[in-house]
Amino acid sequence: MGIIKKFNDFERGRTLPSPLDLNNPEHRKKAEYHFRWADHAVLRTYWTNFAEIAPGAYRSNQPDPARWEEYAQMGIKSVINLRGVSEKAPHFLFEEECTNRLGMTRYDLSFGARAAPKVQTLLSLLEIFHKIEKPFLLHCKSGADRAGLASAIYQHAIAGRPIEEAQKMLSFRFLHLKFTKTGILDLFLAQYAERHIETGIEFEDWVRTEYDPKALQDAFSKRRIIPL
């Protein structure tokens, strides 16, 4: 039981100094260790889940400092962080440090992967899409689920691609597993696709006038899923 508690405390950052100061060498070392192992950056060293979703628009998993440098050299000007603001988390502090130093404009939006998307979150994402300077990168932790949904929305609502094509942004190609709890994102797009095909309604109008997060959640809860 003690080992499990220690692991949980480590994974949730409870063993990190508070407040965490990256300018403090000891704090920084602990933050790097946490980012590498608890946030699974070690798995993302060579697996980036990086892809171009439309001209000047890219998706990936959580970059590390070295990759932020690479993306800056590519000309990336803006970033959409779908993990939201987390001032105590090393992944956020490293991202904030890197994007500020490299002159990238960052938009922080807390997006969920295992629950029905919130109306206001979707509208905020669309607002960002309409004003963001390209080239831009959007990312979550693994680049599979939240990044997949955001990419699908961008492809269809902004780039004008058919919804059937945009839905492929949520696929095993990016390690999205629709038979788990993240499958609610597939159902969300499927509900919109059905209404779009029937009536021609545009995505933003559907979100504002028809989309019901509770009804979506209830419909999804009735399905058998693997709780991942």
Same domain, 104 and 213: yes
Same domain, 119 and 13: no
List residues bridging with 57 in a β-sheet.
54, 136
* Integer Cα distance of 156 and 60 in angstroms: 18
* Integer Cα distance of 97 and 77 in angstroms: 15
Same domain, 30 and 142: no
Same domain, 12 and 122: no
Same domain, 64 and 33: no
Domain that residue 52 falls in: 48-221
Position 227 in a domain? no
Residue spans of alpha helices (H) in the chain: 2-11, 25-37, 65-74, 90-102, 119-131, 146-153, 163-166, 184-199, 203-209, 213-221
Same domain, 21 and 97: no
Same domain, 117 and 201: yes
CATH code: domain of residue 175: 3.90.190.10
At 20, phi and psi to the nearest 5? Answer: -90, 120
Report the pLDDT value the prediction gives residue 7, as an integer from 0 to 100: 62
Same domain, 5 and 107: no
The token pair at 190 is: 């499927």
List per-residue pLDDT tens for the chain, 228 residues long.
577 777 677 778 888 999 999 999 999 999 999 999 999 999 999 999 999 999 999 999 999 999 999 999 999 999 999 999 999 999 999 999 999 999 999 999 999 999 999 999 999 999 999 999 999 999 999 999 999 999 999 999 999 999 999 999 999 999 999 999 999 999 999 999 999 999 999 999 999 999 999 999 999 998 866 666
Same domain, 83 and 124: yes
Position 22 in a domain? yes
Position 226 in a domain? no
Instruction: Please give the tally of structural domains in the chain.
Output: 2
Same domain, 138 and 118: yes
CB-based burial of residue 160 (10 Å sphere; 0-12 exposed, 13-18 middle, 19+ buried)?
exposed
Report the pLDDT value the prediction gives residue 227, as an integer from 0 to 100: 66
Same domain, 146 and 184: yes
Position 206 in a domain? yes
